[in-house]
Structure 1
């Protein structure tokens, strides 16, 4: 097939579609369209006339195409003598091409796979072009000028001073809120779920070649189901982890001079910080492998790291420092020896490159930039916390109350990602843009989780956090009583309480019983109630309307427009508009900015954090996310801003 034939003769494409869709692979192997040469003859002729070869020689290997049940199965002769014996025994099969060399067999299977993939994509694009219902939020052409300046005329504050514990608690709350918001938006906004789902789908570790150059098929419906499941649970894990960190620090603030409390809480907080770093580092690493980054990584076949295919660096990052410092620093942050305590220098170096060389930043995948921002948040948080309190090093034996229970929960969820079926709503992924499909997909995922786990997704993580906080407090009380009875100084370490493990059937039954007595709105992580929240937020009558200048009005008009084509807003325009409303802007690492209201009449006296987007332009799904978060936090909408 070629583009010219497909576009000039519609019957040509239709005939190929009909042939590939209605005949078996075995038939296509033997016979081509209109009784022409099949895939086997096509490959053999290409090898003869065009010197087509596979990258591997597959010495003494064969592939059989006997029937549909054993189609494409390969076998290998154990010795040279065994190879000659097979050649003699299978003479008729080799002449009839029901058995071929594995090189030929692999090329045939590759041709069939990629033909079906390309036809699948082509049909999806045709359906997209003709769709009248699918949500489309086009990305307008951006200015070629890099709009990055010192912004000296704005109230930008670079966060460098030592923070108090109250400030750090406030930061943990902001991050908890931000991650929870992202989860809620992902479950309610089709353009956001489709974009993030695609990013997760195409950055799967299975798409990285292993030590033999093999990758798994990149287009398969089951991987869409798995990707959405992993995406939602990864975001829920992040929200729960920051919630737990925030609550630990609140307990610490209530017992400022209690050495027993600080010993227990510091160890737990340190391990939770390491846990969060590992979570976001995994996402950062998966996006770093996209595009040209693939050649610097290899997948280890048959080995897994926390239930994900193990991916290793192929090259020492230091060797790239002179040639490509940006790539060198990215690979450093993917290295196994990097953790939350030693990543800071590399984050600073990479942040400097992105800040001082905007052209290089504009060439980076926006998934890398978003994940880099998440890395910077947890590393900066630990740096500030360590400057305020004495944070102990990571400990694999103590301070594992949350880590062990999260590990058990994720282990329970692991089999479900291979069994969940969202194909009615999310296959192909662009179906999520059709009206009602995102909501239906999330509801199906949530119901499936409830059936298999005993309760819905949000409650799994809420119960995890509540249980761990309760165990920390009980552990503290027991150790306090123990020290009082002994009458000695508190020891420097305390053993963790035992982590009881129960069978899955008992856990499921317990969760179902608990659901009968709990209120309906108990979890802030509920996946299927966010639409009601947003609808209610949209109907709240604001007590005032902001009188703003024309530029600020245009910014928020573009952000809150209800039309599909919202356009775009430059980052500098957004910052200027927020400052015009009375916000101060706190610049952090990794293009992370916190906007804090300097005045109280903005709807709510609460800070909000955003990542400066790719190429410093807010558009497409990012524009929807920004507007939705502002609406969620402050209750703003398109009618909230009038020109003075």
Structure 2
């Protein structure tokens, strides 16, 4: 039992639990089960085996009889050893051994595994350990629910929805370009650079939200925690006890790490495209080197996005086909998982899951994925796949090379291993046990500060500077590689001229690999001493707030006059920008209708990506102001509802691109 969690919040847990009535306690108890079904009384035989092994988890004793039963059970499990619990229960009652013996005798409980040619009662020990693990998980989930339900200072993340009135009328004004009804527009490099930059800006906003909004951080950590590969059973049905607090700290580090890494990948991708536009047009050598680096980076991001989709699939609808491979891990220390099923049979019984399994298969490449129609809602995977499609329409990507185009990739792989090795060393439980304790005032901020300092102590600099420096070093290495190759090519051309023959295109060589880890850490610490006093663009403790794209300073720009709109449009934007009240949610159709009411047209591009184009020079355009000039690309959220951190991302994008905020819109 996680004693630290119990000791630190004992007074609050007891106070909250005693303040709940029987209905509230029953609701919390049902929330510990995915199906919401628990025992009605200790001898109830209707639920499954796990409920039978923990008869204490019943509505009569835990909810209806008062608060003392649960508090006594919690105290006993938190203050005694497993050996003591084996023999004795609370107040001298039967221990785990006696409880299991009685259940085996009275309920004919059978173990799911068969132990052939075995003459000792392995099944009895398995039941006892299963009971002890089940009670521990039950108490952990109940404690989290009690603190979340009882706290008055904790940030809430489930605000009420707002009505979708007026959407149908406003949608009549909407201009939609359907790609299926007309030939797709020709992709030009400038448009590709713009859309890539917009996606990178969206990731900037998400990283900023993770670092500044406790609700977003807690949600991201919770999602990452419950999709751990270690929570899956192996081929023998054995799973690791990863529900304990022990792994929360490492998951927080992992969550921040992948958010920073994701931004860095797309930042580097943007800079490569801009270099391609400026320098690669008339330089065949630079063109070749840059395209090889782009091909490698696209494959890196596709593999990363595919791995994320696979992680969620194997923890969700594909869980029954997923088996963890015991004692096998990747380079980053993550448990390996195999997904096996009869794909032909699955295609007939569950088409959606069949396509999801195919898309997450290692044999699926971006080219194969591009022809599938079942890619809606796969988020990052469809984004990078469509990007690769667009890139191939403006440039011919070379095949992947094991030696070339690995300037960024090799550095990222080494850094990924370095950071992943810290997961088992960092301790953030004083702020995040349970995870939703991050919602308490000051907890998420303190956790991120300690995390950043821990990374400084171990790796020589902040996690933001690790990736900022990596991007700059990769760009410098790219330039150096080009200069070395160009010098050799010029030398070859000079020799060819003296011999009166045509020079051949040189087979350029890759640069040297990065230095070993010890030397890299030493270099970082030395660089930290001379680093200017400024924040990293990926800083997690002092993130910069978003600023308006097309103005030098918002403080120097006079506040625009309010824009008169319909009541339904005003209600939509009030939900985005009004922080004086609990944020609600906005239907995607209501948001599109509100933008149409302002004169915007929307073009569905690919998957869930839509581009909103402001009106041309007209009375409507002048009413919106001079800042509303450029298109805005947004991603339709899952289930077509904008809520939670998606609401914050949308509001910040609208603020930064168009300068809109609280007070911009008034009812006409």
Does 1:138 pair with 2:181? no
SS of match in other structure, 1:302: strand
Q: Are the structure 2 counterparts of residues 143 and 343 from structure 1 closer, same or farther at C-alpha, using a change threshold of 3 Å?
A: farther
Does 1:580 pair with 2:580? no
* Corresponding residue of 1:125: 145
Q: Are the structure 2 counterparts of residues 546 and 329 from structure 1 closer, same or farther at C-alpha, using a change threshold of 3 Å?
A: same
* Corresponding residue of 1:337: 363
SS of match in other structure, 2:530: coil
SS of match in other structure, 1:335: coil
* Cα distance in 2, alignment partners of residues 613 and 30 from structure 1: 52
* Corresponding residue of 1:222: 246
Match of 2:515 among 487, 490, 501: 501
Does 1:459 pair with 2:459? no
CA deviation vs aligned residue, 1:303-331 (integer Å, no higher than 9, x gap): 22342221222114343223322111111
Q: Which moved more, 1:586-595 or 1:423-432?
A: 586-595
Number of residue pairs the alignment of both structures matches? 585
Does 1:393 pair with 2:399? yes
Q: Which moved more, 1:374-383 or 1:15-24?
A: 15-24
1:596/1:607 contact within 8 Å kept: yes
Shift, 1:635, TM fit: 3.9
Shift, 1:522, TM fit: 5.2
Does 1:279 pair with 2:285? no
CA deviation vs aligned residue, 1:89-128 (integer Å, no higher than 9, x gap): xxxxxxxxxxx73321221111111112112221222222
Match of 1:566 among 580, 583, 586: 583
Q: Which moved more, 1:508-517 or 1:410-419?
A: 508-517
Shift, 1:553, TM fit: 1.0
Does 1:4 pair with 2:79? no
Shift, 1:264, TM fit: 0.4
SS of match in other structure, 2:348: coil
Match of 1:289 among 314, 317, 328: 314
Match of 1:234 among 247, 258, 261: 258
CA deviation vs aligned residue, 1:539-577 (integer Å, no higher than 9, x gap): 897631333222211101112222463222110111222
Q: TM-score, normalised by structure 2?
A: 0.82
Alignment of 1:463-478 (within 5 A): 463-478=469-484
Shift, 1:149, TM fit: 13
Does 1:270 pair with 2:258? no
Does 1:50 pair with 2:107? yes
* Corresponding residue of 2:341: 315
Q: RMSD between aligned alpha carbons?
A: 2.8
* Cα distance in 1, alignment partners of residues 553 and 588 from structure 2: 25
* Corresponding residue of 1:325: 351
2:161/2:584 contact within 8 Å kept: no
Q: Are the structure 2 counterparts of residues 17 and 280 from structure 1 closer, same or farther at C-alpha, using a change threshold of 3 Å?
A: same
* Corresponding residue of 2:16: none
TM superposition outliers: structure 1 runs of 4+ over 6 Å: 141-145, 147-152, 534-541
Q: Are the structure 2 counterparts of residues 602 and 407 from structure 1 closer, same or farther at C-alpha, using a change threshold of 3 Å?
A: farther
1:298/1:312 contact within 8 Å kept: yes
SS of match in other structure, 1:588: strand
CA deviation vs aligned residue, 1:580-630 (integer Å, no higher than 9, x gap): 345443323331223344568374655544321222111233323322343
CA deviation vs aligned residue, 1:367-425 (integer Å, no higher than 9, x gap): xx4xx121111111110110111111222221111111111111111211121211111
2:205/2:649 contact within 8 Å kept: no
* Corresponding residue of 1:420: 426
Q: Are the structure 2 counterparts of residues 533 and 615 from structure 1 closer, same or farther at C-alpha, using a change threshold of 3 Å?
A: closer
Q: Which moved more, 1:573-582 or 1:19-28?
A: 573-582
* Corresponding residue of 2:7: none
1:259/1:490 contact within 8 Å kept: no
Shift, 1:232, TM fit: 1.4
* Cα distance in 2, alignment partners of residues 188 and 177 from structure 1: 16
Shift, 1:129, TM fit: 1.9
* Cα distance in 2, alignment partners of residues 162 and 247 from structure 1: 22
Q: Are the structure 2 counterparts of residues 343 and 499 from structure 1 closer, same or farther at C-alpha, using a change threshold of 3 Å?
A: same
* Corresponding residue of 1:211: 235
* Corresponding residue of 1:260: 285
* Cα distance in 2, alignment partners of residues 522 and 288 from structure 1: 37
* Cα distance in 2, alignment partners of residues 542 and 190 from structure 1: 32
* Corresponding residue of 2:636: 612
* Cα distance in 2, alignment partners of residues 136 and 40 from structure 1: 42
* Cα distance in 1, alignment partners of residues 163 and 571 from structure 2: 18
Q: Are the structure 2 counterparts of residues 243 and 318 from structure 1 closer, same or farther at C-alpha, using a change threshold of 3 Å?
A: farther
1:263/1:492 contact within 8 Å kept: no
Q: Could you list the runs of 5+ residues in structure 2 that have no partner in the other structure? A: 1-55, 494-501, 616-620
Shift, 1:244, TM fit: 1.0
Match of 1:555 among 545, 566, 572: 572
SS of match in other structure, 2:145: helix
Q: Are the structure 2 counterparts of residues 318 and 459 from structure 1 closer, same or farther at C-alpha, using a change threshold of 3 Å?
A: farther
Q: Which moved more, 1:132-141 or 1:117-126?
A: 132-141
Does 1:180 pair with 2:168? no
Shift, 1:49, TM fit: 1.9
* Cα distance in 2, alignment partners of residues 527 and 3 from structure 1: 44
1:568/1:620 contact within 8 Å kept: yes
Shift, 1:238, TM fit: 1.3
Q: Which moved more, 1:511-520 or 1:103-112?
A: 511-520
Q: Are the structure 2 counterparts of residues 272 and 523 from structure 1 closer, same or farther at C-alpha, using a change threshold of 3 Å?
A: same
CA deviation vs aligned residue, 1:71-100 (integer Å, no higher than 9, x gap): xxxxxxxxxxxx7xxxxxxxxxxxxxxxx7
SS of match in other structure, 1:498: coil
SS of match in other structure, 2:112: coil
Q: Are the structure 2 counterparts of residues 482 and 523 from structure 1 closer, same or farther at C-alpha, using a change threshold of 3 Å?
A: same
SS of match in other structure, 2:466: helix
SS of match in other structure, 1:338: coil
Q: Are the structure 2 counterparts of residues 51 and 632 from structure 1 closer, same or farther at C-alpha, using a change threshold of 3 Å?
A: farther
SS of match in other structure, 1:155: coil
* Cα distance in 2, alignment partners of residues 188 and 203 from structure 1: 24
Does 1:521 pair with 2:545? no
Does 1:40 pair with 2:65? no
* Cα distance in 2, alignment partners of residues 150 and 164 from structure 1: 33
* Cα distance in 2, alignment partners of residues 55 and 486 from structure 1: 72
